[in-house]
Amino acid sequence: MVYRAKQGHPGGDMSVTDILATLYFGALRVDPANPNDPKRDRFILSKGHCTGAFYATLAEKGFFPLDQLDTYMQPLSKLNGHPNRNYTPGVETNTGPLGHGMPVAVGAAIAGQIDQADYRVFVVVGDGELQEGSNWEAALTAGHRKLANLTLIIDRNGLQQGARTEDTAALEPLADKWRAFGWDVVEVDGHDHDALLSIFTAPTAGRTKPLCVLARTHKGQGISFMRDQVSWHHGVPNQAQYELALQEIGQ
């Protein structure tokens, strides 16, 4: 998709793909035939620039035809560079400006708490995105309200646009920060489907706090020339790189 569109964020797409696949094919209660079912689980991709992986997951799940992926970022396409709920079934809210998705997720979780609904809210944020203060305001609110129906997944690949997160504005000790805000925290290999599934499907009954899943990932996972390379935050492979990438991921 990125190769065809000649634009995109493939490094971040590949770091979050295993998380998205595990959520949509093992954990989320969603129905592509009824995407607005009030009983559905809510998922928000706060790192909205990684639409390549998100759209591919939604299409594989059946929210729209697979051949629509061929229009990715093309003029008049419904598959924009950032997800838009007005165009794309399965998208809960428009994201793109970093730091927006987490507050929306907290709002959705508060609504569920007030309504005593049994849906869950999941939100994925990038680690560089955590340098936006709006996330920490939302985290404070979620901890205060004991939003046990909320699960935050941090795509902790250690890289952001232009540099490593720790060289830009250090986040560590990241797990301790979330605990201090009143969250339960679990750390996991973000590419281990079984480990992710065990966390995502654990019952919320008995939980008294929101859950932060600190998923250790690799930018460009599965592609040798892209893995852990900050230059692939945004980039387009040339033909040789494209063919090598497809070979390495088994396509």
DSSP string, 49-83: T-HHHHHHHHHHHTSS-GGGGGGTT-TT-SS-SS-
Taking the C-alpha atoms of residue 8 and residue 63, their distance in angstroms, rounded to an integer, is 21
Taking the C-alpha atoms of residue 18 and residue 159, their distance in angstroms, rounded to an integer, is 17
For 145, phi then psi, to 5°, come to -85, 0
Q: 160: which residues sit within 8 A by CB, 6+ positions away?
A: 126, 127, 128, 129, 131, 168, 230, 233
Quickly tell me which residue has 């019952």 as its tokens: 203
- The 10 Å Cβ neighbour count of residue 204 is 12
For 115, phi then psi, to 5°, come to -80, -5
| Preceding omega of 173 cis (within 30 degrees of 0) | yes
Measured between alpha carbons, how far is residue 34 from residues 25, 38, 60, 64 in Å?
16, 9, 16, 12
Q: Is 52 exposed, middle or buried (0-12, 13-18, 19+ CB in 10 A)?
A: buried
Q: What is the pLDDT along the chain (251 residues), one digit of tens a residue?
A: 999 999 999 999 999 999 999 999 999 999 999 999 999 999 999 999 999 999 999 999 999 999 999 999 999 999 999 999 999 999 999 999 899 999 999 999 999 999 999 999 999 999 999 999 999 999 999 999 999 999 999 999 999 999 999 999 999 999 999 999 999 999 999 999 999 999 999 999 889 999 999 999 999 999 999 999 999 999 999 999 999 999 999 87
Taking the C-alpha atoms of residue 53 and residue 15, their distance in angstroms, rounded to an integer, is 9
